[in-house]
């Protein structure tokens, strides 16, 4: 089945630690996105990538980093510079052409110890 997978489902971060969230898609999509969702709020865009080896900052990129070395993969690192990382993180992908739909993964919940 085609789709987007995110791992782990839950992730715990200690003070001063960097953690990496995985996002993989087998939809052959060019574009991939990372969103952050806080309780009772909408989604905010962290980073997006429209093609391999290229990515752009979204609205709240500070304290996060990404890479896009393969078309299928778009990992997100939450660095120690992100002072309030507790949130639900959602990865999405799309064909990258015109008014296309974004498809979402199941999400990773990050909690700080």
Partner 1 sequence: GDSVTQMEGPVTLSEEAFLTINCTYTATGYPSLFWYVQYPGEGLQLLLKATKADDKGSNKGFEATYRKETTSFHLEKGSVQVSDSAVYFCALKTTPGNKLTFGGGTRVLVKP
Find the shortest distance in angstroms from Cβ 106 to partner 1.
5
Query: Does 66 interact with partner 1 (rule: CB under 8 A)?
Result: no
Check if the beta carbon of residue 103 is closer than 8 Å to that of residue 92: yes
Residue 40 within binding range of partner 1, rule CB under 8 A: yes
Contact 12, 113 (CB under 8 A): yes
45: contact with partner 1 by CB under 8 A? yes
Contacts with partner 1, residue ranges (CB under 8 A) = 4, 6, 31, 33, 40-45, 48, 50, 58, 90, 92, 94, 96, 98-107
């Amino acid at each position: 089945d085609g789709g987007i997978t995110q791992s782990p489902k839950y992730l715990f971060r200690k003070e001063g630690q960097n953690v990496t969230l995985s996002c993989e898609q087998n939809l052959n999509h060019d574009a991939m996105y990372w969103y952050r969702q806080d309780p009772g709020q909408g989604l905010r865009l962290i980073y997006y990538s429209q093609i391999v080896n290229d990515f752009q900052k979204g609205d709240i990129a500070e304290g996060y980093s990404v890479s896009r070395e393969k078309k299928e993969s778009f990992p997100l690192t939450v660095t120690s510079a992100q002072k309030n990382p507790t949130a639900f993180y959602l990865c999405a992908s799309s064909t990258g052409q015109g008014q296309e739909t974004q498809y979402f993964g199941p999400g990773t919940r990050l909690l700080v110890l």
